[in-house]
């Protein structure tokens, strides 16, 4: 007898509510496993709880009718109406949540794009070499004597002069 009592004490007190394995051990019979990050029951958990209560009431009405007791059809109809109304409300709330989710995703994408743009600008400001990638404008070619041509040196960023007949090049314009 003492061993049985010790084993019962190790298990702890029993919770009321019957089907605790099916409802997460919650005394009220709510869906403990279906809670959001803020600890509140989610819409689907509330919907399931309302359906369970309505089904329980309907089963009780059917059971009472089978035992010869007068069934309460008005109560069953009222419960069915309440269930239908709550189902409609839940679907509206779910639609609103979907819309909010889409809006948040759009805002998140916009914020990511802004952050990427700011990061690119920060990189440009830290490294000014990226700002001057465009070469300076080249001066217009001068009129030179026949064999001479004016070219532009990309390495030194200035013009030079080349003689096409001799292959000779100079930095100063020929006389």
- 88 sits in which H/E element: helix 73-126
Lowest mean pLDDT among 8-12, 112-116, 144-148: 8-12
Residues 44 and 83 in one domain: yes
Residues 56 and 114 in one domain: yes
Residues 120 and 174 in one domain: no
Distance between CA atoms of residues 28 and 49, nearest Å: 10
The answer to whether the pTM exceeds 0.85 is no
Residues 67 and 93 in one domain: yes
Give a yes or no: residue 79 inside a domain: yes
Residue with the two structure tokens 């990050």: 37
How many structural domains are present in the chain?
Answer: 2
Give a yes or no: residue 3 inside a domain: no
Task: Please compute the mean of the pLDDT values over residues 4-8 and round it to a whole number.
Answer: 49
Distance between CA atoms of residues 71 and 42, nearest Å: 34
Give a yes or no: residue 115 inside a domain: yes
Give a yes or no: residue 167 inside a domain: yes
Residues 160 and 112 in one domain: no
Residues 124 and 150 in one domain: no
Answer yes or no: are the C-beta atoms of 43 and 33 closer than 8 Å: no
Give a yes or no: residue 30 inside a domain: no
The encoded tokens of residue 121 equal 């600008």
Which domain does 151 fall in, by range? 143-175
Residues 125 and 149 in one domain: no
Lowest mean pLDDT among 107-121, 131-145, 156-170: 131-145
Query: Quick one: pLDDT at residue 67?
Result: 62
Distance between CA atoms of residues 44 and 51, nearest Å: 10
Residues 88 and 122 in one domain: yes
Distance between CA atoms of residues 119 and 129, nearest Å: 16
Residues 120 and 91 in one domain: yes
Task: Please compute the mean of the pLDDT values over residues 41-45 and round it to a whole number.
Answer: 69
> Helices marked H in 127-175 — which ranges?
none
Answer yes or no: are the C-beta atoms of 164 and 155 closer than 8 Å: no
Task: Please compute the mean of the pLDDT values over residues 37-47 and round it to a whole number.
Answer: 68
Residues 71 and 118 in one domain: yes
Asked whether residue 174 carries a pLDDT value surpassing 70, the answer given is yes
Q: What percent of the chain has pLDDT over 70?
A: 61
At 54, the pLDDT band (50, 70, 90 cuts) reads confident
Residues 78 and 125 in one domain: yes
Give a yes or no: residue 56 inside a domain: yes
Question: Between residues 68 and 121, which one has the greater pLDDT?
Answer: 121
Tens-place pLDDT, residues 27-38: 444 444 556 666
Tens-place pLDDT, residues 121-148: 887 777 766 555 666 666 666 788 889 9
């Amino acid at each position: 007898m003492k061993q049985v009592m010790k084993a019962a004490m190790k298990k702890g007190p029993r919770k009321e509510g019957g089907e605790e394995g099916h409802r997460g051990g919650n005394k009220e019979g709510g869906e403990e496993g279906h809670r959001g990050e803020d600890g509140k029951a989610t819409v689907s958990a509330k919907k399931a709880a309302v359906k369970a209560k309505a089904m329980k009431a309907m089963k009780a009405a059917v059971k009472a009718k089978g035992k010869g007791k007068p069934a309460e059809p008005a109560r069953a109809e009222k419960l069915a109406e309440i269930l239908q109304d709550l189902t409609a409300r839940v679907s509206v709330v779910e639609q609103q949540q979907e819309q909010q989710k889409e809006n948040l995703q759009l805002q998140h994408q916009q914020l990511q794009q802004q952050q990427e743009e700011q990061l690119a600008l920060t990189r440009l400001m830290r490294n000014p070499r990226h700002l001057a990638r465009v070469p300076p404008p080249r001066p217009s070619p001068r009129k030179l004597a026949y064999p001479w041509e004016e070219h532009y040196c990309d390495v030194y960023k200035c013009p030079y002069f080349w003689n096409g007949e001799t292959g000779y090049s100079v930095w100063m314009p020929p006389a």
